[in-house]
A and B are shown apart, each in its own frame.
Chain A
Amino acid sequence: MKTKITLAILIVLFVVSFVYFIRINQNSYTANEDSSGNIAGQIQESTTSSGTNNNTQTQNSNNKISLSELSKHNSREDCWVAYDGKVYDITSYLPRHPSSAGKILPYCGSADAFAQAFTKQHGTSKVSMLLKVGTFIGDFDVMGNIENSTANPAYADAQDAEDEIGEEDD
């Protein structure tokens, strides 16, 4: 009985240390990757080196994507998401998502909703993966979204109504 318990404990200890070793190795590998130029930088290099790819980081660094533009890309065939102030095209990754594309689809074309769902499900552990699988499109234009919100139909109607009242007063 004692032998069995000892063996069982040894096996569990072996497995835990094995897993710890694997995780440490992977973390140090990721750290090395980051120190030798972050992954976003690697995407920049890869996209700028291929002349045919239009989604270059240098071009897109000036490319501001508004919420209205982002929300147009909300389908299985064209899925953009915003995370940490940057917009990524993850269309090609959708069919490869472990559970199903359906888990991401509701968040296509969204910013806050995607970021919240992503963080809730994965924490920060999959951020590097998102940067790897997503094609960088441009910066998410938060200020532009605020300005554009004044151009929404409801706001425009309200403005028209105010103008009409003003004219009547004159």
Chain B
Amino acid sequence: MPMRKTRRTRLERKTIKMEKYAKPLLRIAMSLIFLYFGFQQVSSPDAWAGFVPEFLTSAIITANNIVIFNGILELSLGLFMLLGLYTRFASLILALHLFGIAFSIGLNPLGVRDFGLSFATLVVFLNGPDEYTLDFKLAKKNKKAD
């Protein structure tokens, strides 16, 4: 006996059409978050130096230097993720980095937010490169060339 197709509502039908945008949307949104915070750290490291754990600082490496270095890392990997270049690698590093920050902050609103964001970044890692990434485009190009 043939299975009867379930009727889908109009909204459901439209949503299914937009499913393909879910992965790139999450990737772009997450990368914009990292780019924003990376830029903030680079432009005003003073405001972030207070978050650096004391054991990381020394006479040569000040908290400000660590913040600037962290900003460069977040900007670079954020751009990688935005363009979809080494998507899995960039998102995994950023997710682990954010996990570390979330744990060091502890159980407070900021820590919980970072914990959620790190999981969202981890989802980007698990999704891998979507069809709008450079990874995908370059792989496709290489396949054609072969």
Contacts and interface: CB of A to CB of B under 8 A. Distances in A.
Contacts of B92: none
B15 interface: no
Contacts of B75: 15, 18-19
Interface residues of A, number: 26
A72 interface: no
B47 interface: yes
Given A122-B62, A129-B46, A8 B54 contact: no
A23 B51 CA distance: 20
Contacts of B46: 122, 125-126, 129
A16 B72 contact: yes
Nearest to A128: B46
Interface in A1-48: 3-4, 7-8, 11-12, 14-16, 18-19, 22-23, 26
B85 A11 contact: yes
A22 B138 contact: no
A16 B76 CA distance: 8
Does more than half of chain A's interface fall in helix, strand or loop, or is it mixed?
helix
Contacts of B135: 4
A121 B79 contact: no
Given A4-B134, A19-B71, A19-B72, A122 B49 contact: yes
B134 to A, nearest CB: 7
Given A8-B86, A123-B62, A126-B49, A19 B42 contact: yes
Contacts of B127: none
A26 B79 CA distance: 23
A129 B44 CA distance: 11
Contact of B79 (A11, A98, A100, A120): A11
Contacts of B134: 4, 7
A99 interface: yes
Contacts of B138: 3-4
Given A4-B85, A98-B50, A125-B46, A19 B79 contact: no
Interface of B: 42-43, 45-52, 54, 57, 59, 62-64, 68, 71-72, 75-76, 79-80, 83, 85-86, 134-135, 138
Given A11-B80, A121-B57, A125-B62, 5 more contacts: A7-B134, A15-B75, A19-B75, A98-B49, A126-B49
